Amino acid sequence: MRILVVGDGKVGHTLAESLAREEHSVVIVDNNEEVLQRSEDVLDVMCVRGNGANAQTLLEAQVDKADIVIAATTSDETNMLCCLMAKRLGAKHAIARIRDPEYNESLNLLQHELGIDLAINPERATALEISRLLRFPFANTIESFAKGRVELVEFRAQENDVVVGTPLRELSKKSHGIPQVLYAAVERDGSVIIPNGDFVIHPGDRVHVAADMVTITAYFRFMGKNSLRIKNVMLLGGGRISYYLAKMIAPMGIHVSLVEINEKKAVALSEALPDVNVIYGDGTDQELLEQEGLKQMDAFVTLCDRDEENLMTGLYAVKQGVPKVIVKNNRVAYEEIINAMGLDSIVSPKTITCANILRYVRARAGGHGTKVEKLYQLVNGKAEALEFIAKAGDSYIGVPLKDLNIRKGTLVAVIVRKGKVIVPFGNDYIEAGDNVIIIACESGISDLNEVIRK
């Protein structure tokens, strides 16, 4: 596909890199010659200098031949105008990054009037992910599939966990009554493994398990990991993510304290969030955090603009014994270091935004095949979880999985049929209309027929 990426910032560059890797023809548009030169040096893309909301610039980038235009500049207004111009000039699909809460209420109207096919709000999507982690604090990440019927949950294995040290096929014999979940993927020493029955989980492994919500809850209760209930949360930084998150969790009965260093912003947040305790001060000041009751908090979420500040204050909160610490980090290079330090719950607005857009792109790149419905990147993008809806007429329909050719490095993790969740074995088969969840140790899959065939 021919794809125009307008805006060569963090999100735009990461998107262009991922799309070029998946062999799309990518054109980047930006005003800054220096950042364009960087992209041209390291990526297999074409670059056009100019304003992405200018018709002449878009025509120079051959917008009339574009399958998708992705507007990811720092300005919401530029992104919306870019999508409007692109659609009028012949682009087939348009995606806009729209971040300002002021536009959130009228987003559907804006999309309809401006011809925007997909609107992405990175801060709100990040806040949604954090709210899930606060509801299930025993998990490092939680992804949902099949309209919430299936959950894929990541946790770090501890030395005293019952699942450690025993081959997976023998777990039910050793630990009677342990709920049956699928062990979908394990990250160990920077590598991703799709485990089989002989696989043994080691302390420190990051384990992804999948099952329906009731079973997954019972599994972690059996493991003794879901005893914590979040009642008091401290948020560091008063940006958009904190605003969206406070609006989401305060009505859940969670007491929220928010620390903001900018006095004007703190006053505005106090007025906009009457149920939140807004504190004016420097959240990196350890004395201030102690005075405001950091040690009594059930969770601490670092949402400053600087990743370094988030990392340092997150480590301090861990040292002070806060049970759940969530760190915002947009630098992939830091993630392995952060994990090694014991900070397991990391959220990245950039990664969440890219995953949403890549899912949309792959759904349109799949031609008439069985297209991607949902896509989540796992373990720093080293693996992916994808959801498809099986189509009548595909070669795999009704054939037992043991008789199918399944792509190397992939796993048919879960089948959802008429609301029933099935963890499949060799004799199970896929029917038309089933939600099929796949785990893959590679990227670029856009069609279920690429994974399983007769």
Question: Is residue 126 included in any domain, yes or no?
Answer: no
Instruction: Tell whether 169 is covered by a domain.
Output: no
232 band by pLDDT with thresholds 50, 70 and 90: very high
- Is 280 in a helix, a strand, or coil? strand
Q: Are strands 141-145 and 46-49 parallel, antiparallel or unpaired?
A: unpaired
Is 416 among the domain residues?
yes
Are residues 282 and 371 part of one domain? no
What does DSSP assign to residue 101?
G
Do 411 and 368 lie in a common domain? yes
Residue 173 has pLDDT above 80, yes or no: yes
For 11-57, how does the pLDDT look when each residue is reduced to its tens digit (9 = 90+)?
Answer: 999 999 989 988 899 999 999 999 999 999 999 999 999 999 999 99
Q: Is residue 138 part of a domain?
A: no
- Structurally, the chain folds into a number of domains equal to 3
What is the DSSP annotation of 14-35? HHHHHHHHTT-EEEEEES-HHH
Which pLDDT score is estimated for 214?
87
Confidence of residue 368 (pLDDT cuts 50, 70, 90): low
In order of 15, 222, 376, the CA distances from 24 in angstroms are 11, 46, 20
Same domain, 317 and 358: no
* 404 and 384 housed in the same domain: yes
| 444: in domain | yes
Q: Is 86 a domain residue?
A: yes
Of 347, 377, 397, which marks where a domain is finished? 347
Residue 200, pLDDT > 90, answer yes
Distance CA 415, CA 21 (A): 29
pLDDT at 100: 87
215: which 2 tokens?
Answer: 């079973």
- How far is 452 from 416, CA to CA, in rounded Å? 17
pLDDT at 341 over 80: no
In a domain, 308, yes or no: yes
Mean pLDDT of the chain: 90
Give the pLDDT confidence score for residue 335 in this predicted structure. Answer: 67
Q: If we measure between CA atoms, which residue out of 260, 257, 268 comes closest to residue 300?
A: 257
pLDDT bracket for residue 10 (50, 70, 90): confident
- Taking the C-alpha atoms of residue 11 and residue 32, their distance in angstroms, rounded to an integer, is 15
Q: Give percent of the chain with pLDDT exceeding 90.
A: 57
Q: ∠ CA(58), CA(354), CA(209), 5° rounding?
A: 160
Residue recorded with tokens 């919430």: 148
The reply to whether 340 and 359 lie within a common domain is no
Query: What are the two backbone dihedrals, phi and then psi, of residue 370, each rounded to the nearest 5 degrees?
Result: -90, 105
Residue 258 has pLDDT above 70, yes or no: yes
Residues 329 and 399 in one domain: no
How far apart, in Å, are the Cα atoms of 182 and each of 185, 371, 385?
9, 24, 13
Q: Domain range holding 360?
A: 354-453
For 159-169, the pLDDT digits (tens) are 999 999 999 99
Strands (E), 237-334: 255-260, 277-280, 299-302, 324-328
The count of residues in the chain is 454
Digit-coded pLDDT (tens) for 417-446: 988 889 888 899 999 999 999 999 887 788
Residues 363, 318 share a domain: no
> Are 331 and 372 part of one and the same domain?
no
Q: Which 8-state DSSP code applies to residue 452?
A: E
Q: For residue 112, what pLDDT is reported? A: 87
Judge whether residue 336 has pLDDT over 70: no
> What single letter denotes the amino acid at residue 245?
L
**Domain termination site, one of 120, 155, 185:** 120
Determine the pLDDT at residue 333: 66
pLDDT at position 271: 95
Question: 376 and 400 share a domain?
Answer: yes
Residues 315 and 380 in one domain: no
Residue 118 backbone phi and psi in degrees, to 5 = -145, 125
For residue 442, the 8-state DSSP code is S
How far apart CA 421 and CA 440 sit, in angstroms, is 20
Over the stretch 130-144, which tens digit does the pLDDT of each residue have? 998 888 888 888 888
Give domain status of residue 245, yes or no.
yes
Higher pLDDT, 148 or 340: 148
Do residues 238 and 331 both lie within one domain?
yes
CATH number at residue 257: 3.40.50.720
Do 6 and 112 lie in a common domain? yes
What's the CATH number where 410 sits? 3.30.70.1450
Query: Which residues fall within 8 angstroms of residue 38, CB to CB, at 6 or more apart?
Result: none
Last residue of a domain, one of 329, 347, 365: 347
